A and B are shown apart, each in its own frame.
Chain A
Amino acid sequence: MHNKTLAQISQDLQAGEYSSVEVTQHFLDRIKNLDGQYNSFITVTDELALTQAKAADELRAAGNANEWTGVPMAHKDIFCTDGVRTSCGSKMLDKFIAPYDSTVADNFNKVGAVSLGKTNMDEFAMGSSSESSFYGAVKNPWSEEHVPGGSSGGSAAAVAARLAPGITATDTGGSIRQPASFCGVTGIKPTYGRVSRFGMISYASSLDQGGPIARTAEDAAMMLNVMAGFDKKDSTSIERDVPDYRADLNKSMKGMTIGLPKEYFSKDLDPVMAQTIQDAIKEYEKMGATLKEISLPNTNLCVPAYYVIAPSECSANLSRMDGVRFGHRCEDPKDIEDLFKRSRSEGFGDEVQRRIMLGSYALSAGFYDAYYKKAQQVRRLIKNDFVAAFNDVDVIMSPVAPSPAFKFGEKSKDPVSMYLEDIYTLSTNLAGLPGMSIPAGMINDLPVGLQLIGNYFDESRLLNCAHQFQNATDWHTKTPTGLK
């Protein structure tokens, strides 16, 4: 049952092959039996899930079901879920029972989906390896020595390990695409403003965007149909109709132009990775697409711009974690300053503290123009590169990351090397474009993703490209070795 895709489970439930309670119980059992190995969940909401499943079965019996009724899924632990701990992978929020639902969680509740629980992640979504969680590192189901990527490592690992057919995630600098690549699953980061950020705990407000991780493009489309939409509770949300993301899945690739940014395929790219990606892109040529070299001249500025903007915004976004109204509070504070300082230092891990300090410094007196403002100007230059490129091409393809999954501890001691991990993914967050990762090959028995970057609001085209690739290849059906 767990090898079925979301779409198949949805069909089976509609066809009465099994009940929602049965499929829910099946996934809950798998999580219970196997997740000790992966640590991909922070919280499993068994009771709530079974209650939702039972209600879904009753709804179906009454003839009021839709395609989502009773379909199990899970949320990254960054989305607030009313009455359920929402920790963001941090000791700071270990006791934070969210008193409200994020719009994304609410959307899934409204269509009658069943939430199995909350998945593990880098603390406050800051990281590329899911090693910085207060709840311990997530293991890559393909190799226990390797990281699953981050920050949505729990979501990607759980989907790869068949612990849930689809899980929500977020992406600020590659946090959906890089773990999807490392775990051999499919993930899409939509256009900025497409999925509501309301109730999604902010890391960097102007970059954060929610999206799904699932096994196939079709499943991702099905999830995005629920997640996407205008939300008046989010000022940055875009008031624009949402298409049915499955409508275009079967369009032909004939006549489509794929842009290959020369800066992404420079001599610095590992030759094995380059070959793997080029092999994948050849599939598109076979399907009738044409390739075109393009240039994104400001590519080298993405990492520096990102590491000004994201820390600056996070330094303010995380100030509300002060030990006064919710979250961790230190023992016996001697005065208010002591309460603030010790609560925060005890509650936050090193990487979070590092980014808060970096941001505080970049915003401090006299540096705003040189750092934050400068980085926001550079963002526009980066965006302009893409706008120009999309005059000539329909979609851009590239590696997701410089390498397949790396080993635990390999980069966690050196932040800069970890930051460079995001070199191919940051640009879409900075420009606000949609980006996707699909399984496209294997290197040293580890999966490798192909990155698809689309024009603004062109998620349908990305999903179409991904679906066509998955029709032609079987990378997305590969199962981690030894998976039960």
Chain B
Amino acid sequence: MEWEVVIGLEIHAQLATKSKIFSGSSTEYGADANTQANIYDLGLPGVLPVFNEEALRMAVKFGLAIDAEIGMKSVFDRKNYFYPDSPKGYQITQLHEPIVGMGHIDIDLGEGKSRRINVTRAHLEEDAGKSVHEGFDGQSGIDLNRCGTPLIEIVSEPELRSSKEASAYFRKMQSIVMYLGICDGDLSQGSMRCDCNVSLRPKGQEEFGTRTEIKNVNSFKNVERAIEVEIERQMDILEDGGSIKQETRLFDADKNETRSMRSKEVENDYRYFPDPDLLPVIIDEEYVEAIRATLPELPEQKKARFEAEHGLSAYNASVLAANREMADYFEAAAGISGDYKMTANWVMGDLSAALNKNEISINEIPVSAEQLGAILKNVKGNDISNDGAKEVFNAIWQGKGSDVDQLIDQLGLKQVSDTSAIEAVVAQVLADNPKLVEGYLNTPEDKRAKAIGPFIGATRKAAKGVNPQVVMEVLKQKLNELG
């Protein structure tokens, strides 16, 4: 049977507030265990929550960025469950009246193709603590620092149809929240986590199959892998005539498999009800419009502008626009070089390769956009070759200098583009190599392009730093005069 894959993602993004969603404790990552867990976060008897205005502002900003309905009235509910990292025995979340309603984003599917995915909702909630299972003599240690860190949980419609689409969706969400400055997007620190709901149905069938939920997948690659192995697992069961059990599963990246989560088996009745310690959150148009006015240009808009204004290909435009810092770097460098396409190729090519090789982000790059712009301006002006540009780039990267013009001089990369000087050298080369000239002249017209190679090599050997394009033109002209 042919199966259709149905995937919906629930992405948790930690909001980049200074303090927690309902208390004045710091949200900074990496502190000693429980040093940022105060009376509120520990759920001590008698403490009460008070809502952080910045968390509200960020959630609304997100809603506007995905063109969603904004909940002018939103309500916090208690989701009741017992777990040692959930100190109050309930999580404060939003069930029926979330801050962000139906919206949508366009995901990039490569080669400039994109697809619109609807976002069901996004709601505010508090993060839980962490359990540490090693180092406590067979017991678990509970660290509640993360408790109360504000989250938005972004729920997609079950419209994703492959693991690739799922990771593209996750990437796009990361790109959006980082653009908005509402989340640092750091997957390795758990600032964004993803739950994947996966099911299969016979192709053409409208009704959804039974789904499983894979919890807390923490990288783009693992989203793809987890979904792929889960699809395979489900397909095997269905092909054998079996049925899927609705359950929560965990992805084991080492074993490349998903397995049932024991701890979640009994939790099925969360007894939601409106938190009586908190009141309905009411906002008005004026508030929403004031936030709208602060929205930056978003990846989708930037991509369109790169194509229209700078003539970039859809692919290049979408890759560059995906990361705000990368896009800003590109625009700054291209503004100086005066050649957007060349700069785009450079940023996506040599520069990205260098970043990957050194495992650093664009924020940490030792070559500034101004320096790259200056290097490429020289390339555009034919003053240095593309290889020369790489040499300058590497020299700055390695800290050998910072002034582009100086480095070009120091490294002797200045190209000779003066035609009369090159003509003299070429004349000498031709005079020194009569056999080559004879061979060239005996070559049929259509094969001469290849036969010109040895002359170029000889010319550049005779005069370092000559512009190979100019050499080529002069050679062609001189040889043609002979033949």
Interface residues of A (CB under 8 A from B): 79-80, 86, 88, 93, 96, 98-100, 102, 197-202, 204-206, 232-236, 312-313, 315-316, 318-322, 324-326, 336, 340, 360, 363-365, 368, 372
Contacts and interface: CB of A to CB of B under 8 A. Distances in A.
Q: Is the interface of B mostly helix, strand, loop or mixed?
A: loop
B80 A363 contact: yes
Contact of B273 (A80, A86, A336, A363): A363
12 contacts: A99-B44, A198-B46, A199-B47, A201-B46, A202-B277, A204-B276, A316-B89, A319-B82, A319-B89, A325-B42, A326-B42, A363-B272
A200 B78 contact: no
A283 B363 CA distance: 81
B142 interface: yes
Contacts of A202: 45-46, 277
Given A319-B82, A360-B271, A236 B45 contact: no
B87 A325 contact: yes
B80 A319 contact: yes
Nearest to B270: A365
A100 B90 contact: no
Nearest to B22: A235
B283 to A, nearest CB: 16
A325 B271 contact: no
Interface string B243-273: 0000000000000000000000000110111
Contacts of B279: 235-236
A322 B45 CA distance: 11
B46 A200 contact: yes
B89 A322 contact: yes
Interface residues of B, number: 31
Contacts of B42: 325-326
Given A88-B45, A198-B46, A235-B50, A324 B87 contact: yes
A320 B87 contact: yes
Given A235-B279, A372-B273, A80 B46 contact: yes
Q: Is the interface of A mostly helix, strand, loop or mixed?
A: loop
B465 interface: no
Interface of B: 39, 42-51, 78, 80, 82, 84, 87-90, 140, 142, 144, 268-269, 271-273, 276-279
A322 B82 contact: yes
A320 B80 contact: no
Given A319-B80, A320-B43, A320-B89, A206 B48 contact: no
Given A316-B271, A363-B271, A96 B45 contact: yes
A316 B80 contact: yes
A319 B88 contact: yes
A83 to B, nearest CB: 14
B84 A324 contact: yes
A241 to B, nearest CB: 20
A321 to B, nearest CB: 8
B25 to A, nearest CB: 14
**Which of B84, B89, B268, B272 counts the most A-chain CB atoms under 10 A from its CB?**
B89
Contacts of A100: 39, 44
Contacts of A316: 78, 80, 88-90, 271, 273
A303 B43 CA distance: 30
Contact of A320 (B45, B269, B278): B45
**Which of B39, B45, B278 counts the most A-chain CB atoms under 10 A from its CB?**
B45
B474 to A, nearest CB: 81
A27 B142 CA distance: 45
B50 to A, nearest CB: 5
Nearest to B279: A235
A235 B51 contact: yes
Contacts of A313: 276
Given A319-B90, A322-B82, A325-B42, A234 B269 contact: no
A347 to B, nearest CB: 12
Nearest to B51: A235
A201 B78 CA distance: 18
Contacts of A200: 46
B142 A324 contact: yes
A96 to B, nearest CB: 7
A336 B84 contact: yes
Closest 8 CB pairs of A and B: A319-B89, A363-B271, A205-B276, A206-B276, A320-B43, A199-B46, A201-B45, A80-B46
Contacts of B271: 315-316, 360, 363-365, 368
A318 B88 CA distance: 8
A457 to B, nearest CB: 18
Contacts of A98: 44-46
A319 B79 CA distance: 11
